[in-house]
Amino acid sequence: MSRQTPPRLLELAMQSLLSDEALAIAALEELPIELFPPLFMEAFARKCRKTLQALVQAWPFTCLPLGALMKDQQPQQENFEAVLSGLDTLLAQEVRPRRWELQVLDLRKDAHQDFWAVWSGASPGEHTLMEAEEEQPLKKRRMDRCRTGAKQPAPTLEVLIDLCLKEGSRDKLLATLMKKVRQEKGLHLCCKKLRIFAVSMKNIKMILKMVQLDSVQDLEVNCTWKLSTLGDFALHLGQMANLRRLLLFHIHVSSYPSLEEEEQCVSQFAAQFPSLHHLEELYLDSVSFLQGRLSQMLRYLQSPLEILSIANCMLSESDLVYLSQCPIISQLKELGLSGVSLTSISPEPLQVLVERASATLQYLDLDECGMGDAQFTAILPALSHCFQLTTFSFCGNPITTSMLESLLLHTIGLSKLSHVLYPAPLESYEDTQGTLHLGKLAQLHARLKQMLRDSGCKDVVWFSANPCPRCGDRTFYDPEPFLCPC
């Protein structure tokens, strides 16, 4: 017969205190700050609305990580409304409560996961999120306010949230929050991660009007937008001055705009890039207007990128020449050109591009670029200088066995290279339908692994076949096949 763990004294104390909400609220004035988090957790679990309101108004930390307590499978509307109601009352007061230090209401569910466990005593460790009231920064701020005797400004509060905008999604908590932000000037809505999926521009504008756009650091736009819609969105992008990561997917040019209209939309969007002083990562996937315009898009960027990924886009040779000479690639850690057809493009621009990024490049993706032996031969000297390279993938390129062996010899000196995905060479296929001869592939696999062993390198060799015509997934071999779901 199993024994249940008896409740700890702290849990019993919280339960006893909340048995009388009026007593619990009256006790907040003298309650040690170490007891605020466990009391909040207990009140949250019991849905003690009045106690939650009072706790928010007396919260002695700079941040309340509410999102970490809000689970998807449990209805939290009542608790959420209680917290917002407490903030309403607080922000309406001209005189701040003595113990109140709250500056940030964090609604992100993945942030500060350990805070509540540490403060409640369920998990040992240091509370790195917020420091106690007696520590110097908060103490000094409170003493400064008392010393100056100056009139305190109206209290304001930042609300941190990750936004995911989807058509048809009904988020009652978000709707409640937006209503409060519209009503209450003291609430500043901040969003570090913003995801936009298939939602009308009207709704996007309505929501972004309430967001402090300079708080956005990570933006993903995954919509089948027309170019004109991207032009409408451009002015919002220009206000995201602290953006560090931008992902743009599925922007296509519709058939009706004239060349002048198309050029105007691209210029309107590209003109926002000078405002993005902190941009470090740029991903462009299935963006149809890039061909012949890459210089127009990238020339406004002020500082080098760490990650540049251009996938499933059409590029001209002039685009690649510009990219190889562009200042923003001088400190690249990751370069991706997956799905960009380089079949008819001279290999020299790619050679220069890899050479210029060789000092910092850690990840290189050349999957499905249509590169043959001649093009890979041209970049081998530059590739052999990428001493920081850890990952190299070039699946889906029609190259021969001799080219694979030559590439292996050129990259053996790259001591950090530990993850390479090779395409199955042309000789491994039995027919034009993509049927692999597993015996030939196994022989090549063994030969490459032996070459690596003889050189004192790791002997991991992964091959990839052409994508499955049904599901699009690849089959990998090491040397036995890891089959796709079909």
Helical (H) or strand (E) element with 238? helix 227-238
Which is it for strands 157-160 and 104-106: parallel, antiparallel or unpaired? parallel
User: What is the full per-residue pLDDT of the chain (486 aa) written as tens digits?
Assistant: 445 565 566 667 677 677 778 888 888 888 888 888 988 988 898 888 999 999 999 999 999 999 988 876 456 888 999 999 999 888 887 666 677 789 999 999 888 777 887 755 554 444 444 443 333 333 333 334 444 444 555 668 999 999 999 876 667 888 889 988 988 878 999 999 999 987 888 889 999 999 999 999 999 999 888 888 888 899 999 999 999 999 999 887 666 567 888 888 889 999 999 999 999 999 999 998 899 999 999 998 989 999 999 999 999 999 999 999 999 999 999 999 999 999 999 999 999 999 999 999 999 999 999 999 999 999 999 999 999 999 999 998 999 999 999 998 899 889 899 888 888 888 888 877 677 788 888 888 888 888 888 887 766 667 776 666 566 677 666 666 666 666
Q: Are 197 and 223 in contact (CB under 8 A)?
A: yes
Which is it for strands 462-464 and 476-477: parallel, antiparallel or unpaired? antiparallel
Distance CA(172)–CA(208), nearest Å, equals 18
Q: Are 246 and 275 in contact (CB under 8 A)?
A: no
The whole-model pTM stands at 0.86
Distance of CA 360 to CAs 16, 330, 366, Å?
60, 8, 17
Distance CA(10)–CA(6), nearest Å, equals 12
Distance CA(100)–CA(93), nearest Å, equals 12
Rg (CA), the chain: 29
The strand pairing partners of 420, in sequence order, are 392
